[in-house]
Structure 1
Amino acid sequence: MAELLYRLGRFSARRSWTVVVGWVVALAMAVGAFLAFGGTLTSSMSIPGTETERVNEQLTDELDGLGGATGTVVFQTEDGSAFTDAQESAIGDLLDGIAGLDGVEDVVDPFAAASDRADQEQQLADGAAQLDDAEAQIEAGTAQLDAAEQQLDAGQAQLDAAVAQAQADGTFAFAAGQFEAQQAELDQGRAQLDAQRAELEAGAAELPAQRAQLEDGQRLVDAASEIRTVSEDGSVATGAVMFEDDLFTLSDELKAEVAAELDGAGIDGVQVDYSTEIAASIDGLIGVGEVVGVVLALLVLVIMFRTLLPAVLPIVSSLVGVGVGVAGSMALSGVVDMSSVTPVLGVMLGLAVGIDYALFIINRHRRQLLAGMDLRESIALANGTSGNAVVFAGSTVLVALLALNVTGIPFLGVMGTVGAVCVLVAVLIAVTLTPALLGLIGIRVLNRRARAQVGHDAHARPELKPMKTGRALLRAALAIVALLIVAIPALSMRLGLPDGSSEAADSTQYRAYTAVADAFGAGQNGPLLVTVALPSSVADDDVVGVQADLAERLLEEDGVVAVAPVGVSDDRDFLAFQVVPVDGPSSESTEQLVHDLRALSPLDAGEAGVGVGEAAAVDGDLELGVAGQASGNIDISAKLAGVLPVYLALVVGLSLIILVLVFRSILVPLIATAGFVLSLFAAFGAVVAIFQWGWLGALFDVHDPGPVLNFAPIIIMGVLFGLAMDYQLFLVSGMREAWVHGVPARTAVVAGMRNGRAVVTAAAIIMVSVFGGFVFSHLTMVRPLGFGLAIGVLFDAFIVRMLLIPAVMHLLGESAWWLPKWLDRILPNVDVEGAALERTHPVHGAEPGGSADATGAPADAGDDARTAELEPEPTR
């Protein structure tokens, strides 16, 4: 590999313009492919097989229109007064217009909804009054019937007495016709009374059922009493836009179209804001913070190189690499589901590693020029040595990112793959475009003062002395204790997805969230959807009663403010309810409520109050399901938390294998991996302290602390692993190189540190600068990623690799390089630094077979048998 890279570097230096034009063409093709084939990015994350996704599919099947995403639109009067009729009419017209957009299922006009609710309550009140009137009328009618019946009884008694008198005095025959007529009249009157009484009794029999229906309706109204669309003072109103697609498939184009309608509303005296379901956008992958990070990286390079031209080269090459990698990846977004964070991660990684990898090669080239090497030979050798290390270092990052695919989480696998593509392009750029650019600028890679000292002995390094053992013990103890203390908050980490409260304070999402929370309660920012599958269909007349019983049962759960029915299936065996929690969707109480509601299933109908008595409407177990924003966040977070240990074990295992292969040691990989774990958990602790606990919130613009971004830990773990192995490679390989050439183990530690300390320090500062720029990104989900990576690199580079590892390596001494003989025989010889190539193309001032780069002085390969490990095998 080193020889191949040497030749590639020489070709690139000789054919500089060919290579440069080739990459420009590649960039143009990537951008063109993105413009031609790029599809929609989503701001939501979905994991197949979760409970929320199952319930959403069930909602779509049973209740068409309920499975789609719902965005909230908040209207506020600018002066705090109640809405005028004209303003209400304008809001209604605005929402009606949005309802006509393709992809919008329906809208909710807050004033129409409030009016409908008032009408419903009035109808219930009127119905109760009518029932009371009917009962009074029935009582009055019954009294009248009783009086009429008494009159009939008296008439019948008189007639019977008259008939008896006539029969006694023998006149009955003469008055028989008259008696029969009077009896017929009495019988007819009694029949009429019986019919009227039967009618009254039938009406009275219907009254209890009607009363029960009214009471059931009133119970539903009472259960939903806290759900309002217009505030009590009439100054805030919330509408809703219901989409056909769910949150995970909703297109940014449709959201942008809805947002444009709302932004252009122009209703006098009314401020219009909307929730993250509508406002989420990926416009602009790079903001001001990211640009500042790149500028800081350029400043570090200028300070290191002490001239502008070579400092610009890593920036230019990394920007080209980012353009090719990100645009090329986004060109596939039309056929691959890709989250909005995915290209941002590609930009973040492409910039950071692109600058660093170019830096390693340019720094090696500058040192060789100062030692007096020919320009093109120096470019080729730098590409074959440091470029070889760059390829290996990039490979570790690639492995870590591609390993995200084994988690079984689609969006995470896509993120890892796109990140890996961007890192791969950064490596290719480093070993091709960087040598080409170095060939173009020639000797100007050095400033004038450095050019005057080319080949002088001023660059020789002082004599090396190992550190003191007591100092090594102190450094190791301080590093370990400090990292463990910082890692303490990680023990209380909560995972979730950001809601409107996490957005920038001047954003429409944040204004909408706070307005709803202040006027209606935080829970209305993220209501839950609870479904109930009945064991059998219920009668049409029993539906309202069953809904009321279930609503009251759900209200009994802690943390529930209101419950409202939102749908019944055609077969009347599937019901859906909107459940409003006390707190917002990312709160601990809402998370607990979701768990509690799911724990109710299966729910006995009798326990729910809907299966009691011989004429029970429902008999059997009820299956409950929970969906909604909070539910989805919980499911995704739980899935990610479950794969986190598996991924950590995979990364640690890969780390051990790679490091054993590179350093041919058992203990060095173990302490390197332990150091990585320490820096990782310290990074987690810092992320929890800032974003979950709110420490230093004003500094990092964390105004409403919440759970940690649920996929941040696994992304930080993968990326930090790759970068930690990079720094381990560039520092400890120098120690091994010196030890192999006969330098005592403890002195070799100092040699390796002197050889790589400056460039690793600059590289780490650049990494921190680039990642740190994303801490203030306009995308909420990017901020914890940027901070976690920046602080992780800071801990790993400056505390673990430069303090802890050298101290432990000193304490271990010669035993650090112990390797069982059987393992030594089967391990291949991995010449990461290209030492064999360096011996065939020696730097001026170094003996063939020696290394001026590792120890600062040439070493003869024959001085120590350990040198044989670096000799290439003869060609067969």
Structure 2
Amino acid sequence: MSSSLYRLGRRMAVLRWRIVGAWLALLVIVGALAVGLGGTFSTDIEIPGTEGQRGIDTLAQRFPEMGGTSGQVVFVTEDGSTVGEHQDEIEALMSEIGEVSHVSAAPSPFDDLSPGTRTEDDTAVIAQFQMDFPTGVYPADEIEEISDLVAGADTATLEAHLGGQVLQSSDIPFGAGEVVGVVVALLILAIVFRSLVPAVIPIITAIVGVGVSMLALVALSAGVDIPSVTTALGAMLGLAVGIDYALFILSRHRDQLAAGEDVHESIGRALATSGSAVIFAGMTVIVALVGLFITGIPFLTVMGVAAAATVALAVVVALTMLPAIMGILGERLRPRRARRAMAAGDGALPEPAEPAAPRRSLGRAWVRLVTRVPALTILVVIVGVGALAVPIRDLELALPDLGTEPVGTDARDTYDLVAEEFGPGYNGPLLVTADIINTTDPLGVVDELESDIAALENVREIQLATPNRGADMAVVVVIPEEGPTAQSTKDLVLALRDGAAGWEQELSISDITVTGSTAVGIDVTDKLSAALLPFAVFVVGLSLLLLALVFRSIWVPLKASVGYLFSVLAAFGVTAMVFEYGWFNGPLFVDVNGPVVSFMPIMVMGVLFGLAMDYEVFLVSRMREEFVHTGDARGAIERGFTANAPVVTAAALIMVAVFAGFVTSGWFMLQPIAVALAVGVLVDAFVVRMTFVPAVLALLGRHAWWLPGWLARALPTVDVEGEGLAAVLEHRRWSEEHGAHALRLDGVVAPLLGAPGTLGPLTGAITPGTLLVVRTPDDAARATFLALAGGRLAPAEGVLAVHDRLAPDDLGAIQARTHWIGAGAPVAARLSEIDGHGLGRAVIVVEQLADLAHAALEDEDLVERLDALLAEGGTVIVGSRAAGPVDAERHLHATLRDPRRLQALSLQRSTAATLEGAPA
């Protein structure tokens, strides 16, 4: 992968203006689609198959008057008069609301059939109205018209307040906090780079990536139900990872420029090293987010996929647009001190007079401190994280309602007014539905059901009990004693469902459901809570597997997974402190305390997993690299930490700044997630990765990097830190010295195909435009060599290069450039299909010389066509089953326009093979 990224970086730098222009054009196109399609987001959170959702769906079909979006107008007298004295004003307003488009019913609260709810002193009344839009869809124009009517009905003696589901807007409250977060990120980048120009680059690339992804979501929302929180979550995550990924690559580029590296060469190397790690880091976040599908919850799956797509786009931007911008700025990104030194040295940095002593740094002092007594450090971390995690026991989950809206909004003010004047239960009524088609006395059955429900504990009153117009379905509206998120309300829902079977049998009714927004919220929370453990097992198991691949170790993945769990516990504990205990509510703009949004834990676990693996890879991979080179376990920890800790520190602070900016939005749907992520990143980066991890590695010593032999052989090799780049650069140097070659083998050893044993070592090279005959009666050896040349087999040892592509990293590219003509295939026809495009980088493999000879006898133009392919730089490798030259080979040698193009290789299994000259 590193070799492909190296070439990609150099290519992006060459095509710099075109790449930047393509991204800006994409931004404009997606923006035009978003505006043209006019999509809207949904505020409805549902889980198909739950009882609450089934009841909502049934109401929409059989009792449409109660199945749409509901609203309420609360009238309160200001002069001590009763609401009855204002009946004319109230009925006039409800009549006007009833005439608004999409309002299906707006009865007077004084109607005998559907009376409104009044206070005991008769100074306030709740009037209900119903819209024909389904729950979760809110026609903005109509709601604005109703809001204007209600505002116009206010008088000195009678106040009118609009409330209910109609005020649950899908608008995302972006504000100054998000901008401040980005500005703080810019300041951190300016400190890291000690220059403003490079500091702006990650901000620009992150904004472009987020802009494209967010506009794409808006366009998609025209045809797909996308929860409104998805956009804010994607923007928050996209900004954070987009800035961080650009930081990792750009900081490597700047370091290389400071060392005197050529600009284009440095861009290629930065992408091959840090770019490899960025891809792996992005993949961990993407897999964790897409893994939310295992919960079986559709809206959560949509959120996960959308957020994963945003992260994927951030990775693509970092690998394409970022190197293009680095290419545009060129020498301006080189640190000023290095530019001056190179200018004085005719374009090259002067050699240092003597090796510089290691500079004193806070990072080196810190890592020495935490590894001096590693067991004590580990104990302190465990105790500290444990203290932060204690409040988790009080963390409650629920879906947000209008009581979580910011103070001062109509929705929140009306919600608080209803709770104060009528009781908190009126903000979360429960709807009990029943199929009464089999009863002969619908009204009597409804009365009995009403009486039984009213007798239950935690029931304040029955607001309404009525059959529908067809008298085949009954609805009982139950007002609980407490609010929608109270435990007593959850107990009441459970009691109603427990009693359903008995009522069905006693009253000869069927299909009793407990529904309404409160019941649906309880069902969603229960389903999410049940999905938390399976998802946690998935994430931890995934982290063990991925890190075992990267670090070739048992203990490093185990330590990383334990550290991830520490971060999660700390994040959840601090979230409980803020939203349950009310700590720091003022500075964080938190308007309400109580249960947090029910999908917070599972979403935070998914996102935090990817970010934790980011820091683990960027920090520990450098330690592993140092250990592999030196074998000094303790020294590798210090050198690796000192090298990468500053960048990880900056990346973590940027993440925290971005997440903290979203906390100040005041949107309760997002606030707990942003707080948990900010705390989780802070703890993971500074407590876990920079304190706990070095201490554990120091305690384990060399054993930290141990991996059983059988597992090492089973696990594929993953190049995260660009280890394969060394081979690419070595091949470039070799090619500059020896010239371009179509095939190069240097000590290549490969397992035999179809037989035990190995082939090799093989050493040799051929230039483009060569026809190589591979001679051997050993079918396994010949098949193995041809497979190596065609990219169908990776060598176990040595260097195998086909043109500028090296195995095993570039096997896919080698295969894509190889024209394989198998045994018995029509050689003449296949050769005629090969055009001249890219022929100078292509290899043509013909499995059997006999097929080529036979085709030459039947087609007089074949040798001429073969000559033309060789003349254009094509390389042909032919397998021969003979140990020496045969008539077919001699015929080719005699008829080729340039016989020197034909070379032969006598191949054996166990001895070093050498390329021979053209046979006589």
**Shared fold per TM-score greater than 0.5:** yes
Matching residue of 1:373 = 261
1:50-103 CA-to-partner distances (Å, cap 9, x unmatched) read 0001122333344332222312233445x5554789975454344333323343
Q: CA deviation at 1:260?
A: 4.7
Matching residue of 1:96 = 95
Asked whether the equivalents of residues 98 and 261 of structure 1 are also in contact (C-alpha less than 8 Å), the reply is: no
Q: CA, structure 1 residues 273+526, in 2 after alignment: closer, same or farther (shift >3 Å)? A: same
- Select 1:358's aligned residue among 238, 246, 250: 246
Report matched runs for 1:775-814 at 5 Å: 775-814=663-702
Task: Show structure 1 runs of 4+ deviating over 6 A.
Answer: 83-87, 463-466, 868-874
- Select 1:585's aligned residue among 476, 484, 488: 484
Structure 1 window deviating more from structure 2 (687-696 vs 298-307): it is: 687-696
Matching residue of 1:507 = 409
Higher helix share: 1
Matching residue of 2:274 = 386
Matching residue of 1:497 = 399
Matching residue of 2:8 = 8
| AA at the equivalent of 2:8 | L
Q: CA deviation at 1:232?
A: 4.7
Matching residue of 1:332 = 220
Matching residue of 1:163 = none
Report matched runs for 1:772-851 at 5 Å: 772-838=660-726, 840-841=728-729
Matching residue of 2:105 = 106
Matching residue of 1:238 = 126
- Select 1:471's aligned residue among 373, 377, 398: 373
- Select 1:482's aligned residue among 384, 404, 417: 384
Q: CA deviation at 1:473?
A: 1.6
| AA at the equivalent of 2:688 | V
Distance in structure 2 (CA, Å) of the matches to 1:662 and 1:255: 56
Asked whether the equivalents of residues 275 and 512 of structure 1 are also in contact (C-alpha less than 8 Å), the reply is: yes
Report matched runs for 1:399-798 at 5 Å: 399-446=287-334, 448-449=336-337, 451-452=339-340, 455=349, 461-462=358-359, 467=368, 470-534=372-436, 536-539=438-441, 543=443, 545-569=444-468, 572=471, 574-604=473-503, 618=507, 620=508, 624-798=512-686
Asked whether the equivalents of residues 41 and 252 of structure 1 are also in contact (C-alpha less than 8 Å), the reply is: no
Distance in structure 2 (CA, Å) of the matches to 1:780 and 1:448: 46
Distance in structure 2 (CA, Å) of the matches to 1:568 and 1:591: 25
- Report the secondary structure of 1:339's partner residue: coil
Q: What number of residue pairs does the alignment pair up?
A: 725
Structure 2 segments unaligned to the other structure (5+ residues): 343-348, 731-794, 808-920
- Report the secondary structure of 1:330's partner residue: helix
Distance in structure 2 (CA, Å) of the matches to 1:600 and 1:871: 75
1:210-231 CA-to-partner distances (Å, cap 9, x unmatched) read xxxxxxxxxxxxxxxxx95344
Asked whether the equivalents of residues 434 and 475 of structure 2 are also in contact (C-alpha less than 8 Å), the reply is: yes
Q: CA, structure 1 residues 334+810, in 2 after alignment: closer, same or farther (shift >3 Å)? A: same
Q: CA, structure 1 residues 238+570, in 2 after alignment: closer, same or farther (shift >3 Å)? A: closer
Percentage identity across paired residues of the two chains: 41
| AA at the equivalent of 2:328 | L
Q: CA deviation at 1:483?
A: 1.1
- Report the secondary structure of 2:34's partner residue: helix
| AA at the equivalent of 1:536 | N
Distance in structure 1 (CA, Å) of the matches to 2:592 and 2:573: 18
- Report the secondary structure of 1:109's partner residue: coil
Indicate the structure (1 or 2) with the bigger Cα radius of gyration: 1
Q: CA, structure 1 residues 753+260, in 2 after alignment: closer, same or farther (shift >3 Å)? A: same
Structure 1 window deviating more from structure 2 (260-269 vs 324-333): it is: 260-269
| AA at the equivalent of 2:235 | V
Matching residue of 1:847 = none
Q: CA deviation at 1:441?
A: 2.2
TM-score by length of structure 1 reads 0.78
Q: State yes or no: 1:291 paired with 2:175.
A: no
Asked whether the equivalents of residues 371 and 459 of structure 1 are also in contact (C-alpha less than 8 Å), the reply is: no
Asked whether the equivalents of residues 260 and 338 of structure 2 are also in contact (C-alpha less than 8 Å), the reply is: no
- Select 2:284's aligned residue among 371, 377, 396: 396
Distance in structure 1 (CA, Å) of the matches to 2:420 and 2:31: 45
- Report the secondary structure of 2:66's partner residue: coil
Q: CA deviation at 1:557?
A: 1.4
Q: CA, structure 1 residues 753+467, in 2 after alignment: closer, same or farther (shift >3 Å)? A: same
Matching residue of 1:22 = 22
Q: CA deviation at 1:679?
A: 0.8
- Report the secondary structure of 2:500's partner residue: coil
Distance in structure 2 (CA, Å) of the matches to 1:413 and 1:80: 53
Distance in structure 1 (CA, Å) of the matches to 2:143 and 2:60: 24
Distance in structure 2 (CA, Å) of the matches to 1:305 and 1:459: 22
Q: CA, structure 1 residues 668+267, in 2 after alignment: closer, same or farther (shift >3 Å)? A: same
Asked whether the equivalents of residues 590 and 666 of structure 2 are also in contact (C-alpha less than 8 Å), the reply is: no
Distance in structure 2 (CA, Å) of the matches to 1:403 and 1:19: 32
Distance in structure 2 (CA, Å) of the matches to 1:474 and 1:276: 56
Higher strand share: 2
Structure 1 window deviating more from structure 2 (325-334 vs 354-363): it is: 325-334
Matching residue of 2:825 = none
Distance in structure 2 (CA, Å) of the matches to 1:702 and 1:869: 59
Matching residue of 1:40 = 40
| AA at the equivalent of 2:466 | G
Q: CA deviation at 1:445?
A: 2.4
| AA at the equivalent of 2:431 | L
Distance in structure 1 (CA, Å) of the matches to 2:462 and 2:582: 32
Asked whether the equivalents of residues 65 and 104 of structure 2 are also in contact (C-alpha less than 8 Å), the reply is: yes
Distance in structure 2 (CA, Å) of the matches to 1:402 and 1:512: 39
Distance in structure 2 (CA, Å) of the matches to 1:240 and 1:521: 17
| AA at the equivalent of 1:500 | L
Asked whether the equivalents of residues 836 and 871 of structure 1 are also in contact (C-alpha less than 8 Å), the reply is: no
Q: CA deviation at 1:603?
A: 1.8
Higher RCO, 1 vs 2 (CA within 8 Å, ≥6 residues apart)? 1
Asked whether the equivalents of residues 249 and 271 of structure 2 are also in contact (C-alpha less than 8 Å), the reply is: yes
Q: CA, structure 1 residues 307+69, in 2 after alignment: closer, same or farther (shift >3 Å)? A: same
Matching residue of 1:71 = 71
Matching residue of 2:782 = none
Asked whether the equivalents of residues 317 and 358 of structure 1 are also in contact (C-alpha less than 8 Å), the reply is: yes
Q: CA deviation at 1:252?
A: 4.6
Q: CA, structure 1 residues 263+474, in 2 after alignment: closer, same or farther (shift >3 Å)? A: farther
Q: CA deviation at 1:279?
A: 1.9
TM-score by length of structure 2 reads 0.74
Q: CA, structure 1 residues 628+7, in 2 after alignment: closer, same or farther (shift >3 Å)? A: same
Distance in structure 1 (CA, Å) of the matches to 2:15 and 2:357: 33
1:235-270 CA-to-partner distances (Å, cap 9, x unmatched) read 54422221223324x245466445554576364445
Distance in structure 2 (CA, Å) of the matches to 1:5 and 1:265: 64
Asked whether the equivalents of residues 431 and 516 of structure 2 are also in contact (C-alpha less than 8 Å), the reply is: yes
Q: State yes or no: 1:265 paired with 2:152.
A: yes
Asked whether the equivalents of residues 13 and 436 of structure 1 are also in contact (C-alpha less than 8 Å), the reply is: yes
Matching residue of 1:49 = 49
Q: CA deviation at 1:694?
A: 2.5
Distance in structure 2 (CA, Å) of the matches to 1:524 and 1:872: 76
Q: CA, structure 1 residues 67+643, in 2 after alignment: closer, same or farther (shift >3 Å)? A: same
- Select 2:192's aligned residue among 296, 304, 315: 304
Q: CA, structure 1 residues 488+871, in 2 after alignment: closer, same or farther (shift >3 Å)? A: farther
Structure 1 segments unaligned to the other structure (5+ residues): 121-226, 612-617, 843-867
Q: CA, structure 1 residues 99+778, in 2 after alignment: closer, same or farther (shift >3 Å)? A: farther
Asked whether the equivalents of residues 83 and 125 of structure 2 are also in contact (C-alpha less than 8 Å), the reply is: no
Distance in structure 2 (CA, Å) of the matches to 1:869 and 1:373: 33
Matching residue of 1:195 = none
